[in-house]
Amino acid sequence: MSGPVTLPEQLETVKLWDPLLRLFHWSLTICVIAAWGLGKFGPNDMTLHFWFGYAVIGLLAFRVLWGFVGPEHARFRSFAYGPVAVLRYLGQIGARSPSYWRGHNPLGGLAVFVLLALLIGQVATGLFADPEDYLNVGPLAQYVSTATARMALNWHDILSNAVLAMVLLHVAAIGFYRRWKNEDLIRPMLTGRKTVRKKG
């Protein structure tokens, strides 16, 4: 029977991701995948697609709020890195060892901002989209011109592909970190605990 794992002196296991952030992450995952799948392959009546979209709006509203008032590592300022930091991190990303980063690393932080922006654009355009089928009209389409509603529909479709690309990139990054860098990014988002470098 093996004893407890002893970490190197410069490492520690800490509570990193709070329960609400973890619940948000997995709820958003489910709702985005469901809304995307229903939008692409679902029935002609998009009622369920709309309801999952509304859930995404609620989750995004929470995440924006949590980015300002949540715990340290949930706050936007904790992973708002500049381009120099992102490029510096990219320069050493190929190292075959865990980064033990405390919170989002510069590249991961950038990905969070990009994905949030894409999803906000996606749900916003969905609210105004009008496919002119008298069935799946966005709830705010009546307040804009027909041309604007059609443009919103086109952008809704374009952004859906961009969201898919980001999700696939996210999954690929998880696989890269697990296989190449021997770093598990999934367990911390389940348990909230992660092994990181000590401060100082």
State the virtual CA torsion across 130, 122, 151, 134 in degrees, nearest 10.
Answer: -10
Q: Which residues contact 113 (CB under 8 A, 6 or more apart)?
A: 76, 80
DSSP state of 5: P
Q: Which domains, ranges and CATH numbers included, belong to the chain?
A: 11-15+44-188 (1.20.950)
Specify the pTM.
0.91
pLDDT computed for residue 170 by the predictor: 96
pLDDT computed for residue 45 by the predictor: 86
| CA distances (Å), origin 149, targets 106, 123, 146, 154, 166 | 37, 13, 5, 9, 25
pLDDT computed for residue 3 by the predictor: 47
Distance, CA of 80 to chain centre:
15
Whole-angstrom Cα distance, residue 75 to residue 70?
Answer: 6
Reduced to 3 states (helix: H, G, I; strand: E, B; else coil), residue 197 is strand
pLDDT computed for residue 1 by the predictor: 46
pLDDT computed for residue 189 by the predictor: 96
pLDDT computed for residue 8 by the predictor: 66
Position 155: which residue type?
W
pLDDT computed for residue 10 by the predictor: 86
Residues of the chain with pLDDT under 50: 1-5
Whole-angstrom Cα distance, residue 150 to residue 148?
Answer: 5
